[in-house]
């Protein structure tokens, strides 16, 4: 089921897609995405405890995920809450996980 729009890929779109997969190609970022998928939203401190990294390291990873529009933020007082940006991110994660677990 290939249409003309999916059969060809212009260079700009190909680059953007490669950058998306590059962003997802890091185990720490995938663990952060998994936790956000399960929790709905979390602070840097909560994520740092969950994945066993420093808050600085988690902040660095979240910055990249935010730049790629994979996560979004919500400010509540002094706290910043992170969540998956939309259902596409969850779907990409779940499909990749299903593919890996399938064998």
Rounded average pLDDT per 10-residue block, the chain, 103 residues:
68 95 96 97 97 97 96 96 97 96 87
Residue-level pLDDT at 5 = 57
Helix H segments across the chain?
Answer: 4-7, 11-23, 27-39, 44-51, 55-67, 87-102
Domain contains 6: no
Residue-level pLDDT at 2 = 53
Residue-level pLDDT at 103 = 75
Judge residue 24's burial from the number of C-beta atoms within 10 Å of its C-beta, 0-12 exposed, 13-18 middle, 19 or more buried: middle
Residue-level pLDDT at 4 = 54
Domain contains 5: no
pTM: 0.88
Q: How far is 44 from 13, CA to CA, in rounded Å? A: 31
Q: Within 13 A of 54's CA, how many CA atoms are on the CB side?
A: 3
- Whichever domain contains 43, its CATH number is 1.10.10.10
Total number of domains constituting the chain? 1
Residue-level pLDDT at 7 = 74
Domain contains 2: no
Domain contains 52: yes
CA angle 99, 41, 91 (to 5 degrees): 25
Residue-level pLDDT at 22 = 95
- Tell me, rounded to whole angstroms, the distance of Cα 78 from its chain centroid: 24
Domain contains 7: no
Query: Which range marks the domain in which residue 64 is found?
Result: 13-102
């Amino acid at each position: 089921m290939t249409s003309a729009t999916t059969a060809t890929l212009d260079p700009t779109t190909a680059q953007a897609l490669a950058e998306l997969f590059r962003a997802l190609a890091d185990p720490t970022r995938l663990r952060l995405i998994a936790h956000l998928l399960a929790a709905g939203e979390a602070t840097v401190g909560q994520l740092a405890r969950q994945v066993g990294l420093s808050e600085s390291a988690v902040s660095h990873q979240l910055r990249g995920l935010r730049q790629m529009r994979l996560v979004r933020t919500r400010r509540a007082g002094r706290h910043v809450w992170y969540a998956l940006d939309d259902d596409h991110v969850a779907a990409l994660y779940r499909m990749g996980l299903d593919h890996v677990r399938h064998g």
